[in-house]
Amino acid sequence: MALKGLDIFKLTPKTNCKECGSPTCMAFAMKVAQGAVELSKCPHMSADALATLSEATAPPMKSIKVGTGDAEYTLGGETVLARHEKTFVSKTRFAVKLSPDMDIDAALAESNKVDYERIGERMHAEMVYVEYTGDVAAYVEAVKKVTGIGKTIILSCTDVEAAKAALEVCKAEKPILDGANASNYEAMVEIAKAAGVVLGVSGADINELYDTTAAIEKLGYKDLVLNTTGATIKETFSTTVQVRRACLAKNPDRTFGYPSIVNLCKIAPNDEPMQISLASVFVLKYGSIVVMDTMNYARALPLYGLRQNVFTDPQKPMKVEPGIYALNGGDENSVCLTTVDFALTYFVVSGELERSGVPLNLVINDAGGLSVLTSWAAGKFSGNSISSYIKENVEPKVKSRKLIIPGKVAVLKGDLEAKLPGWEIIVGPREAVQLVKFLKDLQADGHLMTVNIWSVLYRPDYKEKCMQRDLQLSDFSV
């Protein structure tokens, strides 16, 4: 940021009103300088001071919004070159290339097969990159096919008339018009302004890209993305990295302060292994949008896993929402199993539980996003926290009174039995991989049997199991 805390403090009203949530204007100014608080939190800042500070404290890379509704995404806004310095802000988005000479419906159907959730995040190709091939009417028809499908549209088109016609079809969805270059940028700026869309800029090399971007800024248009794709892999990587370094340098050059598009279909056409490799490179090295031939699970699983690891805040643990997760058709009569809210633990455990096929309720309470032993040692996964959550959130919804706890915190069994009268506390295995056999054994022994009075009366196998466990009809109520 260009301004320090004292510089910001000089422009504050200095009333110490505390309405911003900070005890003093000085404290507020320091938080703004650190990027911890937005300027808008101060309700008494003058318009002139707000304008001055907004410009000076804005990230050297501009944040750009594209798309609408569920397909609206923010690009850019980065402040560091490496994740460990602070955090990356806007994750890389993946686009699938389409063109009028393709079977667009089939291509979309293929890429749409990849749509799954991992650690609370939807994984799918968020954008489509529609390439102009010379026929205006065919291009417009292709754009019509991708309009309204829930994906952000990128129009790869340097032809002015074709761009106008395509935007008439899809401008309401706030696409990116990736078509400005040294020869047509003035006309493209007018088209982008009229449609209110983001303009993509490209150049024959990095110098031409810089000059064209600077010329567009002089025309007063700054809703831009930079297409850093070159003629070769080496040139593309070099340009993409240099653009990001220039805008995040100690003395930033804001002419390069925009998100980037990297088109792998140009530098590695029809080469799936190379595209996957390059996509992983540009997730790490500054591709805001990465364009690929298609998206399938061979591409998605490594790329989305990498992206999720890179674009999470290292200062914040990955957590899932506390709640009751019914698995394998679990209902109010199904046994409960509890573990921590650390995302990795949750997804490993839930995967094994689903594999077991046993209906149950997975109970997750707030354990600070830590692993089982760490949260237990920190007092966040304790007899008190588990029993309180069970009483407040589980007992009103679940009739079963069986609770399986992780084997690594077997020490909690006695405490939970004292704090949860009427509950049977079962110590589970120490490792998630042992859950399938553990649950199937319990189910075979009748320990997880869902019992009601009608089952006992009309199903001899249930009645026999109840008798084996010394259960009488008087133990149940209608």
CB 242 within 8 A of CB 206: yes
Higher-pLDDT residue of 250, 221: 221
CA distance 429 to 409: 10
pLDDT over 50 (residue 462): no
pLDDT in the model for residue 73: 96
What b/e string do you get for 416-430 counting C-beta neighbours within 10 Å, with b at 16 or more? Answer: bbebbeebebbbbbe
CA distance 66 to 73: 6
CB 95 within 8 A of CB 176: no
pLDDT in the model for residue 417: 93
pLDDT in the model for residue 180: 97
Over residues 157-176, the mean pLDDT reads 96
> Mean pLDDT lowest for which of 57-66, 276-285, 430-439, 440-449?
440-449
Higher-pLDDT residue of 57, 280: 280
Max mean pLDDT among 49-58, 158-167, 319-328, 432-441 falls in: 158-167
CA distance 417 to 428: 15
Q: How many helices (H) and strands (E) does the chain have?
A: 19, 17
pTM of the model: 0.75
Half-sphere exposure of 282 (CA within 13 A, CB side): 32
> Mean pLDDT lowest for which of 192-196, 226-230, 455-459?
455-459
Tell me, rounded to whole angstroms, the distance of Cα 423 from its chain centroid. 38
109 burial via Cβ count (<10 Å: 0-12, 13-18, 19+): exposed
What b/e string do you get for 303-327 counting C-beta neighbours within 10 Å, with b at 16 or more? Answer: bbeebbebbbeeeebbbbeeebbeb
pLDDT in the model for residue 461: 52
Collapsing DSSP to helix, strand or coil, 123 comes out as strand
CA distance 187 to 197: 14
* Number of CB atoms found within 10 A of residue 472's CB: 9
Collapsing DSSP to helix, strand or coil, 50 comes out as helix
> Mean pLDDT lowest for which of 11-15, 219-223, 264-268?
11-15
Q: Parallel, antiparallel, or unpaired: how do β-strands 121-123 and 116-118 relate?
A: antiparallel
pLDDT over 90 (residue 108): yes
Strand partners, 325: 362
CB 94 within 8 A of CB 279: yes
What's the angle, vertex CA 188, arms to CA 103 and CA 183, rounded to 5?
100
Collapsing DSSP to helix, strand or coil, 180 comes out as strand
CA distance 28 to 9: 8
What is the phi-psi region of residue 375: left when phi exceeds 0, alpha when psi lies from -120 to 50, beta otherwise? alpha
| Residue 394 DSSP one-character state | I
pLDDT in the model for residue 415: 93
> Mean pLDDT lowest for which of 176-190, 267-281, 433-447?
433-447
